[in-house]
Amino acid sequence: MLPPHLRVNYRKAEEVITSFIADAVKASNAEGVVLGLSGGSDSSVVAALATRALGSSKVKAISLPDIESSPESSLIARKVADTIGIELTTIDITPIVSSVLKQLGMNYKKSDKVIRGNIKVRTRMTVLYAIANSERRLVVGTSDRSEWLIGYFTKWGDGAADLYPIIGLFKSQVMEFGKYLNLPLEAVSRPPTPDLWPGHTAEGELGVTYDVIDEVLYWLFDEGLKPEEIPKASGIPYEAVEKVLELHNKSRHKREPLSAPFRSFKEL
């Protein structure tokens, strides 16, 4: 159960988000949307909302596993697709990732897992955009507000999309949204994971739970509290507040790409 200050009117959220998706597709004169369906809460909620906005025939869901992916992810993604009533296409990206690593002189299993993981995520993006280009669809992003504000996404990977329907909702709110939408419990309650290597979980990599992350982000950005004021308001230790703030500050470049210190060559 979410604390009162994080609770959402999901009926209203559904109305607003489905209208947003429908309007975006219409304005772009697109044939529909394509998204990566991982079996997690974010992609499952986005897939469900896109289907309600456009109809199942206009939503293309793609599962993009590789040799290191958990078999559970594909099974849950399939169950979500069946529940929503959309088709799910599976594309194994292992050969693509292997080829890129080979061209860089790296061995798949011996390469650095973070480098390999980022290549996987950017490969998924490339595949989704190739499908979007060939079928005149828009790529729907599945990033939530928590991930966006702490930079827990790969630049030009899962952070790349044409529209971001749930970018205004914290991770914990998205998981509750999934329950409202009657999505499979396995998807909405599963520990968040990018599934880039065996045993990979978001909270394990971040070193802090999303319950804490969402609380800190709420008090920081929605209520405008100073970091030192948050422990008193939330009961969260200041060390955890500092950790979340550090994640936000270090990832600023992902949300605000650096540009030249002048607007045009005439200023030189």
- What does residue 8 show for φ and ψ, rounded to 5 degrees? -125, 145
Give dist(CA 230, CA 218) in Å, integer.
Answer: 10
> 257: Cβ–Cβ under 8 A, 6 or more apart, which residues?
none
Helices (H), 10-112: 10-27, 41-54, 71-84, 94-103
> 20: Cβ–Cβ under 8 A, 6 or more apart, which residues?
53, 163, 165
pLDDT value of position 119: 97
Structure tokens of 163? 């529209």
> Which is nearest to 145 in space by CA: 12, 17, 4, 1?
17
pLDDT value at 194 more than 90: no
Structure tokens of 13? 């959220």
Residue 61's H or E segment, with its range, is strand 59-63
pLDDT value at 58 more than 90: yes
Structure tokens of 11? 């009926």
What average pLDDT does this structure show over 209-217?
96
The predicted-structure confidence for 222-248, as pLDDT tens digits, reads as follows 999 999 999 999 999 999 999 999 999
DSSP letter assigned to residue 141: P
DSSP string, 174-229: HHHHHHHTT--HHHHSSPP----STT--HHHHHTS-HHHHHHHHIIIIIS---GGG
Give the residue, 11 or 191, on which the prediction is more confident. 11
Is residue 108 classed exposed, middle or buried when 0-12, 13-18 and 19+ CB atoms within 10 A define those classes?
Answer: middle
Give the residue, 195 or 50, on which the prediction is more confident. 50
The predicted-structure confidence for 122-179, as pLDDT tens digits, reads as follows 999 999 999 999 999 999 999 999 999 999 999 999 999 999 999 999 999 999 999 9
Residue 242's CB: how many other CB atoms inside 10 A?
14
Angle between helices 238-250 and 210-217 (to 10 degrees): 80
What average pLDDT does this structure show over 64-80?
95
Query: Tokens 């990206």 identify what position?
Result: 93
Residues 42, 48, 49, CA angle at the centre, nearest 5°?
90
Query: Tokens 């970018």 identify what position?
Result: 167
Contact (CB, 8 A) for 61 and 47: yes
The predicted-structure confidence for 166-193, as pLDDT tens digits, reads as follows 999 999 999 999 999 999 999 998 888 8
Q: Which residues pair with 139 in a beta bridge?
A: 34
